[in-house]
């Protein structure tokens, strides 16, 4: 299953899955050794919805970004900012699925301005991933990783 679901990152994910399983098996012997999560090197203490560039999107494009990102974070990714950006942006299947979902959602939600809004929404997601990788440092971000329950009020967790 790991090979089928994880794209080109499957070898890392397979190693990690095997280490988790080995740690689980050792619990019966009274010892545990689970792998620790690895994160991208960017110092991300915020969510995509906290970026000023996200706020500049049309409302229809904001929803098109927040809905699929929130769904993936809620169901499959860590909810802390560094864990979320790492999960969303490093794993092929996640980032490819998000790009496709954003395109689809913008096209559905934005009507006649969809082409411009698709470009803008994908740009915000790409910028967020670049920040997660430590390639850019966004300016004007005032949030610092609110708890998921507070974050849900901002619309990313439906």
Q: How far apart are CA 125 and CA 83, in angstroms?
A: 16
Q: What is the largest CA-CA distance in the chain?
A: 62
- On whether the CB atoms of residues 47 and 123 are closer than 8 A, the answer is no
Mean pLDDT across the stretch 16-26?
A: 70
Q: Can you give the pTM of this predicted structure?
A: 0.74
Which of 120, 133, 143 is CA-nearest to residue 47?
A: 143
Helix (H, G, I), strand (E, B) or coil at 142: coil
Q: What is the pLDDT of residues 80-137, one digit of tens each?
A: 999 899 889 887 678 888 999 999 999 999 988 889 999 999 999 999 999 999 999 9
The token pair that represents 101 in the structure block: 């979902």
Arithmetic mean of pLDDT over the chain: 80
């Amino acid at each position: 299953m790991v090979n089928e679901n994880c794209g080109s990152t499957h070898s890392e994910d397979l190693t990690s899955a095997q280490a988790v399983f080995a740690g689980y098996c050792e619990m019966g012997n009274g010892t545990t050794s689970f792998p620790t999560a690895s994160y991208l090197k960017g110092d991300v203490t915020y969510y995509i919805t906290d970026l000023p560039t996200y706020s500049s999107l049309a409302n229809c494009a904001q929803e098109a970004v927040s809905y699929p990102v929130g769904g993936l974070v809620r169901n499959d990714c860590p909810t802390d900012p560094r864990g979320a950006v790492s999960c969303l942006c490093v794993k092929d299947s996640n980032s490819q699925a998000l790009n496709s979902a954003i395109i689809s959602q913008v096209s559905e939600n934005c009507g006649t301005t969809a082409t411009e809004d698709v470009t803008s929404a994908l740009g915000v997601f790409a910028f967020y991933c670049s920040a997660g990788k430590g390639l850019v440092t966004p300016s004007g971000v005032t949030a610092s990783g609110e708890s998921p329950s507070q974050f849900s009020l901002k619309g990313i967790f439906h």
